[in-house]
Structure 1
């Protein structure tokens, strides 16, 4: 019998390279054709292992999906960065590597981030998603998110709509 252990845990110092790999694969999968190519490559390049190592060492709230010691996804979250929105917390990023998508792991990461936010006094929170990222938009709607704001985000000389989904 073969057993695999799947856990969601806090990121550790040694996870930086694996998180960077998930970031790279998930962003290419989600944003190719949505974010202009040159800008997408710049954004991915800025989030290499050194960036993730720094985030871990700063104590950023960062969960990872650990599939038998292979990182298959991550969620980062904390205090809401947009003071004009009345929600205390924010899920900054939630990404699952393409080969782990469609298996319920994104929902598992989301629910554990939600629980941790609530335990730290953030019973309401927002998540932003690019409007053209249909999978993300549908994912947050299925989880009960209400669209509470639309804004524009610039990528080089182009702009894209992004949506804020609120959870209470």
Structure 2
């Protein structure tokens, strides 16, 4: 019996197509029926391989979850967009291919992202999740996140409520 190798590492330019596939498939499943269909298609279209090459090239703020040689998920992170204090970080995105969800890969990717941020000197973390995305809310609650505030984001013409989770690193 051979073991499946699970690795979490910084994304490389050669991962851009695989990350774009994870983005498209995970967003299409997670947000179908939640986001307006046109807005969802537009968001997915804007996050193709070229987008990911640019994101990866900016700085080392993209981690990938690799399972048996397959890019199964990714996380993007950095300084919080709305800082409550100087040492607050944010996970902007954390997504897995649908067939890899629910088996612990998301937890591993979240934990490694938190460890990376802590090593960089951050002491707090925020994560935003649409309130209609029950799976994401449950995931971040199980990780110990507390809803610190509520916000809104615009998808197409529709304002969507967002829960802002807070974590101590």
The answer to whether the 8 Å contact 2:10/2:60 transfers is no
Deviations 1:47-85 (A, max 9, x none): 0000001111112411101112210000111111113x3
Aligned residue number for residue 97 of structure 2: 97
* SS class of match (1:144): coil
The number of equivalent residue pairs is 167
CA distance in 2, matches of 1:10, 1:26: 20
Taking the TM superposition and a 5 Å limit, the aligned residue runs for 1:79-118 are 79-83=79-83, 85-86=84-85, 88-118=88-118
Computed over aligned residues only, the root mean square deviation of the Cα atoms, in angstroms, reads: 1.1
Aligned residue number for residue 15 of structure 1: 15
Aligned residue number for residue 133 of structure 1: 133
The answer to whether the 8 Å contact 1:19/1:73 transfers is yes
Deviations 1:99-147 (A, max 9, x none): 1000000000000000000000112110000000000001101110010
What is the CA-CA distance between 1:152 and the residue it aligns to?
Answer: 1.2
The answer to whether the 8 Å contact 2:140/2:165 transfers is yes
Q: Which runs of 5+ in 1 are unaligned?
A: none
CA distance in 2, matches of 1:138, 1:156: 26
CA distance in 2, matches of 1:156, 1:29: 18
Q: Does 1:68 align with 2:46?
A: no
Which aligned runs of 4 or more in structure 1 are off by greater than 3 angstroms? Answer: none
Aligned residue number for residue 28 of structure 1: 28
Q: Which runs of 5+ in 2 are unaligned?
A: none
Q: Structure 1-normalised TM-score?
A: 0.96
Aligned residue number for residue 145 of structure 1: 145
Aligned residue number for residue 51 of structure 2: 51
CA distance in 1, matches of 2:11, 2:54: 12
* SS class of match (2:24): helix
* SS class of match (2:103): coil
Q: Structure 2-normalised TM-score?
A: 0.95
What is the CA-CA distance between 1:2 and the residue it aligns to?
Answer: 3.3
